[in-house]
Amino acid sequence: MAEGFPQAVLFCCDHNAVRSPMAEGLMKHLHGQRAYVQSAGVRNDLEIDGFSVAVCRELGIELSRHRSRSFQEMQDWGDDLGQFDLIIALSPASQRLALELTRQSHVEVVYWPITDPTAIGDSRESKLTAYRQARDQIRALIVERFGPGIQSL
């Protein structure tokens, strides 16, 4: 937590459908409005993943209304990535794109290697276990970086 608390954080992954929406929801749940928090993907070609919705709902975090968006869509809407103090990439592709898009600004880009749970498990329960592990991994890194927050999970 030595880095201090940023005013604006962007979480990103490949599709903005699994890991980054979970991270956005967890950060907002733990830290409320202490920071402006958004998420994006390299692409926005998928809807929010039902398993992500389910495992976050277990903690009282609602993701079902999340709308996936891409970096390109953010820029098309006039969002400036330079407005973020911190971009946390949860996949290698999103880290590369975030670094490329912010090379002219003073935005810190960090990479958290969160396992993509979408290809893990054959049964519903084994898939839920994989998604819970990703969720808990994200939560642990948020707590490590920003502290336990206002909500206890």
Number of Cβ atoms within 10 Å of the Cβ of 57? 13
Does residue 3 lie in a domain region?
no
Q: Is residue 153 assigned to a domain?
A: no
Predicted confidence at residue 151, as pLDDT, reads 63
Cα four-point dihedral sign 24, 28, 29, 31: positive
Which among 143, 37, 15 has a CA at the least distance from the CA of 91? 15
- For residue 105, being part of any structural domain is answered with yes
| pLDDT score, position 2 | 42
Residue 111 lies in a domain: yes
Write phi, then psi, for 48 (nearest 5 degrees): -55, 135
Contact 129, 121 (CB under 8 A): yes
Q: Number of folded domains in the chain?
A: 1
Domain span at residue 33 reads 8-146
Residue at 151 is within a domain: no
Q: What is the reported pTM?
A: 0.93
Report residues of the chain scoring pLDDT below 50. 1-2
CA distances from 26 to 72, 99, 116 (A): 24, 24, 17
Structural domain includes residue 152 = no
Which tens digit of pLDDT belongs to each residue from 56-94? 999 999 999 999 999 999 989 888 888 999 999 999 999
Q: CATH code at 42?
A: 3.40.50.2300
In-domain check, residue 47: yes
Residue with tokens 């290698």: 92
Assigned domain for 1 exists = no
**56 contacts 25 by C-beta, under 8 angstroms:** yes
Give pLDDT, residue 149: 86
Taking 3-state DSSP, the helix, strand and coil percentages for the chain, each rounded to the nearest 5, stand at: 45, 15, 45
